[in-house]
Amino acid sequence: MAQAQACPQIEADAEQALKARLSDQKWRLNNLYSIINKDGQRVGFRMNQAQETLFDEMWYLNIILKARQFGGTTFTDIYYLDSCLFNSNHAAGIIAHHRDDAAKIFETKVLYPWRNMHPDLRRAAITETKHELVFDNNSSIRVGTSMRSSTLQKLHSSEFGKTCAKYPDKAREIV
């Protein structure tokens, strides 16, 4: 029995289609990342309506008023991770109001989606700590209670209202 030969044109078309998809950030966000949902199950991340509106209307400064459980932090942190993975020389930071929350946010909203990507798509991390991922494309994403000594392309301050109320000096430093 003759062995089937791969069709070079079909393979080239499939590769071109994959490259087109991977060049589309909205597609990547909705197809490449996994999260743990409210029921404790691993699921593929899919933008909900509020997240999609934020993505579509994003500007250089976005203020999200206090709204629980719409996934603002999850979306923002996966968006930042994706931006660092697919863009060279890109730095993103996430500020939390205290260290425990910073570590939890980083573990669940950055490291988990990154570690659970398809291995062929995951860029090699040069450094992986409890607070930072540095990638081989010279991009990085980190979390902390401040972002001093950094030039960032993206910054997310989680629970900034709480930081303002409890730590006004820290809030002024962030601003």
- Model confidence pLDDT, tens digit, residues 112-158: 999 999 888 887 778 888 899 999 999 999 998 888 777 899 988 87
Q: Which two tokens stand for residue 55?
A: 């993505």
Distance CA 84, CA 87 (A): 5
Nearest to 103 by CA among 22, 46, 158: 158
- Model confidence pLDDT, tens digit, residues 35-65: 999 899 999 999 999 999 999 998 887 777 7
Distance CA 100, CA 96 (A): 9
